[in-house]
Amino acid sequence: MTINAFTRALTPATLTRLALGVSVAAGAVLTAAPVFADQASGARSDTVASHSAEEKSAGQVSAQSVLKIAESQVGVTENAAGGGTPFHSWYMSSPRAKETVARDGGSLQSYANAPWCAMFVSWVGEKAGARSTVGWDAYTVTYAKWFEANKHWGSQAKPGAVVFYSWDDKSVESIDHVGLVKQDNGDGTITAIEGNTGNGKVEERVRPKSQVVGYGYPQYKA
């Protein structure tokens, strides 16, 4: 289902649909996002969870470094309300959250129990010091559009790529979910590390490429 107009402040339920990737406004784009050029409790690794890496220039962080951080969070689980992860806490305290509230409506508190797949990927990029090239958002559709706008979008599964899924069709507007590619399995499937999957956990998942809308390509160290 698609919301074709956005004329009121978001309720928590509406924000939940946003974070899942339901379209809010046709042609919505990321605003005040980082640019490619020049640019909390429950964590499996206390070191990673508390670490605030210095931001590095695009091309200075490896895909394997990003994936290592993502893998360290496998098993982190949301609370009964669907929130309570370090990814929610981090996003709500980030300047990006204020920007996306201004863009989408609602309030910072609305993020507390919102679906968090995009917040997880954004958190990983932040912890790796690669926010400028991994990006950050809570809404999967505008997250994908950011990669498109920066001409870092394609159809090839690469380790460390940000993978965008749709359960309905292959349009960017229909994107439901996001994760980080671990590998192309060579059999029509990929392995990815994803937040807010299974029973509200960070998990390593194998999915068919038929569910993939496209891939965003951060600029990693060669």
Q: What percent of the chain has pLDDT over 70?
A: 76
- Condensed to tens digits (0 to 9), the pLDDT of residues 161-182 reads 999 999 998 899 999 999 999 9
Backbone φ/ψ region at 58: left (φ over 0), alpha (ψ -120 to 50), beta:
beta
State the pairing for strand pair 153-154/162-165: unpaired
Residues 6+ apart with CB under 8 A from 26: 4, 173
Tokens of 163: 């993978």
pLDDT computed for residue 99 by the predictor: 97
- Per-residue tokens: 176: 């439901």
Residue 195, both tokens? 């937040």
Q: Which residues pair with 191 in a beta bridge?
A: 183, 206
The mean pLDDT of the chain is: 82
- What's residue 189's pLDDT? 98
Count of positions (residues) in the chain: 222
Residues 86-137: pLDDT tens digits?
999 999 999 999 999 999 999 999 999 999 999 999 999 999 999 999 999 9
pTM for the model stands at 0.80
Cα 53 to Cα 40: distance, rounded to the nearest angstrom:
15
pLDDT at 58: 72
